[in-house]
Amino acid sequence: MPGGEEQRKSSGWAPYWAPMITFLVIVELSGRVSPPFNALFLVLRVIAPFGLFVFFALRGAYPELRGARWGAWAVGDVAIGLLGAAPASAASTSISSGRAASGSRRRCARSATPA
C-alpha cells in the first residue's frame, strides 16, 4: 500500500447504531440536569445524531444512499415520510399522556379516602 497506510474495512455497525446510541445517551443525561440546561439538551437531541449521520454519509458509509439522486423527488419522498410519521407520533404521545393522567387521578382518589 502506498505510504505505508493500512486501510481497514469498517464493521458496518457504527453508521447505524452511533446516532441512535448518541440520542439515547443524551435523552438519559437530559433527565439528570438542572432546568437551565434542558434547552441545550433538547437541541443536542437533534444536532448530535444528525451530525453523526452527516459525518458517516459524507464518508459513503450508507450503501443505500450511494446511488441516490438528490432532487425534488427525493425531497418529496422525505416530506411524505414525515407526514406519515406525524400522525403516528401524535397518537403515541396522546395515548401515553392519557395513561399518565388517568394514573394520577387514581392515585389522588386513593389518597383522598380515609383510612
pTM attached to this predicted model? 0.58
Element (H, E) at 112: helix 72-112
Q: All 3 cell numbers of residue 55?
A: 459525518
Three cell numbers written together for 93: 404521545
Q: Which tens digits make up the pLDDT trace of 1-40?
A: 455 555 556 558 999 999 999 999 999 999 899 888 888 9
Looking at the domain assignment, is residue 2 inside a domain? no
> Is residue 48 situated within a structural domain?
yes
Rounded to whole angstroms, the Cα distance separating 10 from 55 reads 14
Whether 57 is in a domain gets the answer yes
> What total number of domains does the chain contain?
1
| Residue 19 belongs to some domain of the structure | yes
Q: Which pLDDT value is given to residue 1?
A: 47
Q: Is residue 30 part of a domain?
A: yes
Is residue 79 assigned to a domain? no
Q: Tell me what percent of the chain is helix, strand and coil, each rounded to the nearest 5.
A: 75, 0, 25
Dist CA 101 CA 108 (whole Å): 11
What confidence score (pLDDT) does residue 86 get? 85
Which pLDDT belongs to residue 113? 55
User: Can you give the pLDDT at residue 75?
Assistant: 86
Identify whether 15 is part of a domain: yes
* Mean pLDDT value across the chain: 79
Domain that holds residue 24: 8-64
Mean pLDDT on 60-84: 86
What proportion of the chain, given as a percentage, has pLDDT over 90?
A: 33
